[in-house]
A and B are shown apart, each in its own frame.
Chain A
């Protein structure tokens, strides 16, 4: 089986930065993804990074990729209460394609 690991819970104050970490399994993964799940809703793609990149920035989001350690992180700058959700990292199944293996999810709680 493939296990994508994440810490379960993160609590930050509004305005601070949040960093959510993930350890994936397949060093040949071409893309790695971050999905967001708000309460009672399905998952929504937040951002992704191509495996030949070390970093990708998209407005308040920064994705860092360390291929050597198979470590992926998502940094949210100026975290807002609306960012409270569960964040999943995901990698394609061995062999690629759109079949994704999701991590356990990190619940982000933003406090005032």
Chain B
């Protein structure tokens, strides 16, 4: 079974530029999450989708971050304009549903460096 795919693995941009990350979850997983992991910290949830609808985006900085999952499968996370403090690894995860019973399956992450 293929795992969660993310791209690009690495991205370096200057502040005020924009960047987009792509995630393809495990086939059949209805729920998709984007987490931000700053160096030395645990992952922090940015947004959760159930199929193509947003379940929780309360921790997404909406002035600069946006995410979509138009067809209920792939998702993109965009940052525009980027700030220095956005340097982090952006992890995508998926699960079968929203109940506690399922484990989260993580991709390898997209490492963003903002100069």
Q: A residues engaging B (CB < 8 A)?
A: 4, 8, 30-31, 33, 40-45, 48, 88, 90, 92-93, 96-105
Contact = CB atoms under 8 A, between A and B. Distances in A.
B106 A43 contact: yes
Contacts of A31: 100
A105 B104 CA distance: 17
A100 B98 contact: no
Contacts of A101: 45
Interface in B27-66: 31, 33, 40-45, 48, 55-56
B42 A4 contact: yes
Chain B at the A interface: SS class: loop
Given A42-B91, A44-B106, A98 B43 contact: no
A96 B48 CA distance: 14
B106 A99 contact: no
Contacts of A41: 108
A8 B39 CA distance: 12
B100 A98 contact: yes
Nearest to B35: A102
Contacts of A40: 108
Contact of A99 (B40, B41, B48): B48
